[in-house]
């Protein structure tokens, strides 16, 4: 079993388990099945939203997607409006939301590949455009309604007490594993992330791969927005915003290298669990907001020091 080395994703997963039981020590009643399911359910939203971020970061070239939060919001608002309480409109609404997310993601990809804009500012600028589009679209009026079927399928227990979103998260996990490890795209994505010259000289069309990655990130963010709406059942203008930086953090905590070319989605899933647990734990022990933020930041720093270090100039 040489594969069971203490890899970063495994560390993150072990940390999540440890945090859960630490929760039991600090806050009586923290450790039970219902709570575990609840934590996983909460993690699922962050996990799904972080899926696209994982792809973009693996693609390297300083890749990062800061438009994720805005696209999550846009998707939720679109679905909220189009569905307007009717079960029959859920699928069409989802399709429109996914299409919109993909389109904005593809624009990011075009800016990064064809125009050479650094991903950080390109996606940041796109976040503004998406946010602006939301305002134009809604004129500040957040009208609409979720369909009854959405909470039923997403946040309520679906099979054996497991909420639908957790099942869907599992499917997303499986899909992401297939995508990364068992498709030509995945293999090329890692290659592009490690070394673009080698990739090109091995016949990989680098810009196309990168463009597709940003488009996928938009698509997955839109899916995340749909899921989130099923949970919150209402929308507001910065619904997705608070998931933006946690999405980067979940990817990094899960051991995906920010420089690109190395990483996994199950690492990101573990990372989402860790972040959600830290959040719930800090809430459970009733620390003030200030202390919660400091501890969250410090934990991130410690995790980074554990395996996020870069090569020294001197060997």
Partner 1 sequence: MSKPNFKHLNLRHPYLLALGLLIVAVLVNAYLQPNLFEGRVLNSNLRTFLPLMILAVGQTIVIIAGGIDLSVGAMVSLTSAVLVTNMQPDSPPGHILLVILLALGVGMAAGALNGLAVAFLRLQPIVTTYATSFIFAGLALWVLPRPGGVMPIEFARAYRRTMPLGLPLGFYVAALIILIWVFLRRTRFGNYLFAVGGQPASAYATGVPVNLIRFSTYVIMGLMAAFSALALTLMTSSGDPRMGDAMTLDSIVAVVLGGTRLSGGQGGVAGSIMGVIILGLIRNIISFANVPTWWQTLVDALIIIVALAAPGAVRLLRRRLTT
Partner 2 sequence: MNVSLSARNIVKHFGGVTALSDGNLDVSSGTVVALLGANGSGKSTLAKIITGVLEPDGGGIELDGRPVRFTSPQAAMQQGIAAVYQELSLIPDMTVTENIWLGHEPLRWGVRVNRRVLLQRTEALLDLFRGAFQPTLEPDAPVASLPPDEKQIVEILKAISREPRLMILDEATASLDSRQVQRLFELMTTWKQQGMALVFVSHRMDEIFRVADQAVVLRNGATAGALPMADASERKLVSLMVGVEARSPATVVGAETVQRRAETSARIRLATRDLAADRLHEVNFTVHDGELVGLGGLRGQGQEELLLALFGAIPFHGKIILDDEPVHFAHPRDAMERGVAYVPGERAAQGLLLIRSILENLQLPSWARYGAILDMREARSDAQRISDDLSLVMASLDAPVESLSGGNAQKVVLGKWLLREPTLLLLNDPTKGVDVGTKAEFYQKLTELRNDGAAILFYSSDDDELLGLCDRVLVMQDGHIRAELQGDDLTRANLVAASMGAPQENQAQPNHAQSDVQEAA
Query: According to CB under 8 A, which one of 204, 212, 215, 251 is a site residue for partner 2?
Result: 204
Taking CB under 8 A as the binding criterion, the range among 63-71, 188-196, 267-275, 286-294 that sits at the site for partner 2 is: 188-196
Cα–Cα distance measured from residue 115 to residue 218, given in angstroms and rounded to the nearest whole number: 19
Closest CA to 76 of 213, 238, 184, 200: 238
Least distance between partner 2 and beta carbon 314 (Å): 6
Query: According to CB under 8 A, which one of 126, 147, 204, 275 is a site residue for partner 1?
Result: 126
Binding mask 21-40 vs partner 1 (x if CB under 8 A, - otherwise)?
--------------------
Cα–Cα distance measured from residue 282 to residue 105, given in angstroms and rounded to the nearest whole number: 34
Cα–Cα distance measured from residue 213 to residue 207, given in angstroms and rounded to the nearest whole number: 10
Cβ-based nearer residue to partner 1, 203 or 289: 289
Residue 3 per-residue DSSP state = G
Name residues whose C-beta falls within 8 Å of residue 174's C-beta, 6 or more positions apart in sequence.
none
Backbone angles phi, psi at 158, to 5 degrees: -115, -55
Cα–Cα distance measured from residue 174 to residue 140, given in angstroms and rounded to the nearest whole number: 38
Beta carbons within 10 angstroms of residue 9's beta carbon: 21
Question: Tokens standing for 235?
Answer: 């929308």
Residue 59 touching partner 2 (CB under 8 A): no
Cβ-based nearer residue to partner 1, 99 or 295: 295
Residue 8 touching partner 1 (CB under 8 A): no
CB of 137 within 8 A of CB of 79?
no
Tokens 């599992």 belong to residue: 170
Residue 236 touching partner 1 (CB under 8 A): no
Cα–Cα distance measured from residue 234 to residue 143, given in angstroms and rounded to the nearest whole number: 10
Residue 197 touching partner 2 (CB under 8 A): yes
Backbone angles phi, psi at 139, to 5 degrees: 50, 35
Least distance between partner 2 and beta carbon 207 (Å): 10
Cβ-based nearer residue to partner 1, 157 or 297: 297
Backbone angles phi, psi at 233, to 5 degrees: 60, 5
Cβ-based nearer residue to partner 2, 75 or 199: 199
| Radius of gyration of the chain measured on its C-alpha atoms | 19
Cβ-based nearer residue to partner 2, 309 or 314: 314
Residues contacting partner 2: total by CB under 8 A: 23
Residue 238 touching partner 2 (CB under 8 A): no
Cα–Cα distance measured from residue 239 to residue 247, given in angstroms and rounded to the nearest whole number: 14
Residue 314 touching partner 2 (CB under 8 A): yes
Cβ-based nearer residue to partner 1, 154 or 252: 252
Residue 256 per-residue DSSP state = -
Binding mask 55-84 vs partner 1 (x if CB under 8 A, - otherwise)?
-------x-x-x------------------
Which spans of this chain sit near partner 2 (rule: CB under 8 A)?
178, 182-184, 187-188, 190-191, 194-195, 197-205, 261-262, 314-315
Give the interface with partner 1 as residue ranges (CB under 8 A).
Answer: 62, 64, 66, 111, 114-118, 120-122, 124-129, 131-133, 135-136, 138-140, 245, 248-249, 252, 258-259, 288-298, 300-301, 304-305, 308-314
């Amino acid at each position: 079993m040489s594969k069971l080395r203490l890899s970063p994703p495994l560390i993150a997963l072990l940390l999540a388990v440890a945090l859960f039981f630490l929760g039991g020590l600090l806050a009586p009643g923290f450790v039970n099945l219902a709570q575990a399911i609840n934590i996983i359910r909460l993690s699922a939203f962050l996990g799904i939203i972080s899926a696209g971020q994982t792809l973009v970061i693996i693609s390297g070239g300083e890749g990062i997607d800061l438009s994720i939060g805005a696209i999550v919001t846009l998707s939720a608002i679109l679905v909220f409006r189009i569905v307007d309480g009717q079960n029959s409109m859920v699928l069409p609404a989802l399709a429109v939301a996914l299409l919109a997310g993909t389109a904005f993601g593809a624009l990011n990809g075009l800016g990064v590949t064809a125009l050479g804009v650094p991903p950080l500012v390109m996606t940041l600028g796109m976040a503004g455009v998406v946010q602006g589009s939301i305002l134009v679209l809604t004129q500040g009026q957040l009208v609409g309604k979720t369909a009854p079927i959405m909470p039923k399928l997403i946040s309520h227990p679906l099979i054996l007490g497991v909420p639908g979103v957790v099942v869907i998260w599992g499917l997303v996990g499986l899909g992401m594993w297939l995508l990364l490890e068992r498709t030509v795209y995945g293999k090329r994505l890692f290659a592009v992330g490690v070394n673009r010259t080698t990739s090109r000289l091995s016949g990989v069309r680098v810009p196309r791969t990168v463009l597709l990655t940003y488009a996928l990130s938009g698509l997955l963010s839109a899916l995340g927005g749909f899921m989130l709406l099923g949970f919150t059942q209402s929308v507001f203008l910065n619904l997705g915003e608070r998931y933006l930086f946690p999405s980067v953090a979940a990817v990094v905590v899960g051991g995906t290298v920010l420089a690109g070319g190395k990483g996994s989605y199950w690492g990101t899933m573990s990372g989402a669990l860790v972040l959600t647990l830290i959040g719930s734990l800090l809430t459970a022990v009733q620390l003030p907001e200030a202390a919660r933020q400091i501890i969250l930041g410090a934990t991130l720093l410690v995790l980074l020091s554990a395996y996020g270090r870069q090569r020294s100039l001197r060997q």
